[in-house]
Amino acid sequence: MCKSGSLYIRRFPATVILTGMELQALFFVSLLQTSLFVGAQDSGELDQSRRFPRYRFNIRKDDIFHDTSVIPVDHQVSSFLYKGETKLFFFLHEREQSPLSLTVTPCTSSILWNVRYRHQNDTGKLEDVVSSSGNNSEPPLEEYRGNDMKTFSSETPRPGLYILQVTPLERETYVKLYASLEPGGPHPLRLSQPPKLRLQKRQRRKRLTIRWEPSSVDPHVMHYCLVVNTRRYYSTLCEAQGERSGVSPPDFSHASGFNFPREQAEAHKTELASKAARLNASRLGRGSGGAGGPMHEDIVIGCVGRKTSFTVSNLEHGKVYHFNLFAVNKRTNLSFPYGRTTLKYEPRSKPIGLKDGKVTSVNLKKMDGRATFKFKVGKNSDGEFHLYVMPCGGAVDVELTLKGEIVVPRKQVYGYERFRVQSPERGQRYTLRISAHNPEELRRISAVEVLATTKPSVKFPLPELPEKPQVYEYDSMRRCDSVTVGWLPSPDPRASRYCVFAREDKRHDMENQRPNQCSLDLRLKKNLDFAVMQCQDKIPNDSRAVITQTIGNLKNGRKYIIQITASKSRGKTLSYDLLQVQTKPGCT
């Protein structure tokens, strides 16, 4: 009998076979337990009177796994298998009344795997389960054939050695293994509803942005990888990575081990496979694969760390794209599917329908600076088709077409513009295209308002401004405490109320004469910077007559911004262009 650490290994009867791999695995489990036992002096697990030296083994879990085939707890490891090769992996379960799960993730080939059990009694002996002929005397606890991630789980497993046997069926592949003592298996794999992927089209450069919510499980250590392709969904991240870049055996030439015959054989086999792969690659060239199957470089794999968005460029019109999102726990190395969706990419967004007399507002930034509207002419028209475009904060380009023919040529609109179309016919469908004038203007625009109607006499809510909505100052009437301004009245007789606002230009912020017309009434009410506000109800008999107003109570030698607004009865308000004035420096 040989005693090694806390595990006993006895000579088995002639009817029992323990393979060299099983003996090697058990030897390293016991060696690891002994090292941890010896190194636990400072943790309080040993009596301080027993003075053992403390040893620190700076060994990664992956190295221990590759040397022993012992699956660690809460750390995903991987192993490479050739087609037809069978490997055994081991997990020694020692906790009483503790759940156990083993998660197996195939990569580029479907696999056949099963889990078997060997009981360890109170003396540490593994009881006989295998006959001399090599046949298993008991059926496996679980068996699976396929290429999906699957988990063997037991809530009340017996202590002992669990043996996982894996065989690839189609081609060489990596297999990822993960052991957990959580009830029901790893928590991330038990999410009832995967998060939804939100797709945001960006028409410029044929881009698409994919967004998602962060993981509710360990969000601080969760990283994300998105797979985009036109072929199919991928069930695992390593499957997509294998098809993207091919499959190459691991390089054991620099691995630290104990130079077992198995390690020497694997190193020699790996060296030969690497030479063959390099030779095939030099012959086949870029875009082809070696022994691991064809490579597909059009598969996009974007790993973005802890970010929750990814932008894909150069999408092709009419193609169907599949999006697979995977989460990777950087602490445990466990990767798992986190969400998926499909989209047929159409670079042109669906036109937005306009209803007669109803204001429609869109966020141009979310539409990547472009929006298309459709309007159908109904019955009972007034003989004209009116529409207005009101960008909130910046400039846009506007074009109106009918059956591909230009009705209103492309024009830049800043602040507000009203368009008229004579004699529209019932059933005609007009197309209005709006786009940001440039990226700088798009950053300034918060929204764009659009209204269309064939009944402007009753459904147009805004007053009509003169062709040149300018405000003029009478220089000769300038004083130290007042200025006099004038403006042309609205051609619309229903625009019956005019208001004059004056505020001191302390910040010198009048970059443009055109004001932001969106929600003008509300903004004027909230603005507390106005030094003067005067309103009057005047309806000149002659639209060419000038309305004048003297603005008093101003400070001498100061600059002011003058704003004139016109309001429609039971309607909204529009502003004339802004005017900058300055009072005289002194009073005589």
Segment 84-87 long-range contacts (CB within 8 Å, at least 24 positions apart): 84/167, 84/168, 85/167, 85/168, 86/165, 86/166, 86/167, 87/165, 87/166, 87/167
56 by Cβ neighbours in 10 Å (0-12 / 13-18 / 19+) ranks as exposed
Q: pLDDT, tens digit, for every residue of 101-134?
A: 888 888 888 889 899 888 765 555 555 444 333 4
Of 426, 415, 355, 351, residue with least CA distance to 387: 355
The candidate with the shortest Cα–Cα distance to 75, out of 163, 178, 149, is: 178
Tokens of 74: 């809460």
- Alpha-carbon Rg of the chain, whole angstroms? 38
Secondary structure tally for the chain: helices H, strands E: 7, 34
Can you list the alpha helix ranges (DSSP code H) found in 208-260? Answer: 237-245
Whether the Cβ atoms of residue 229 and residue 300 lie closer than 8 Å to each other = yes
Residues of the chain with pLDDT under 70: 1-60, 62-63, 66-67, 120-137, 191-192, 201-205, 251-297, 347-349, 509-511, 538-543
Looking at this protein, which amino acid is placed at residue 575? Answer: S
Q: What is the pTM of this model?
A: 0.48
pLDDT number for residue 398: 95
**Predicted pLDDT at 33:** 44
What integer pLDDT is reported at residue 252 of this predicted model?
53
Nearest to 549 by CA among 496, 500, 510, 492: 500
Report in angstroms the alpha-carbon separations of 201 from 322, 447, 468. Answer: 15, 17, 38
Give all domains of the chain, ordered by start, each with its CATH number.
Answer: 2-185 (2.60.120.680), 191-344 (2.60.40.10), 352-459 (2.60.120.380), 471-582 (2.60.40.10)
Q: Position 500: which residue type?
A: V
Find how far residue 560's CA is from the centre of its chain: 47
Strands of 203-351, DSSP E? 207-211, 222-229, 300-305, 309-312, 320-329, 335-344
- Angle formed at CA 398 by CA 381 and CA 200, multiple of 5 degrees: 110
Across the chain, mean pLDDT equals: 76
**pLDDT at residue 479 in the model:** 92
* Closest by CA position to 132, among listed 19, 2, 8: 19
SS3 29: helix
The first and second tokens of residue 473, run together, are 């100052």
Mapping DSSP to helix (H, G, I), strand (E, B) and coil, where does residue 221 land?
Answer: helix
Pairwise CA distance, residues 52 & 59, whole Å: 21
What is the per-residue pLDDT for 531?
72
Specify the residue for token string 């988990």: 151
Structure-token pair, residue 430: 């007009």
Of 395, 391, 425, nearest to 407 by C-alpha is: 425
Q: Per-residue pLDDT tens for 380-428?
A: 777 888 999 999 988 899 999 999 899 999 999 988 999 999 888 889 9
CA–CA gap between residue 17 and residue 20 (Å, rounded):
9
pLDDT of residue 520: 87
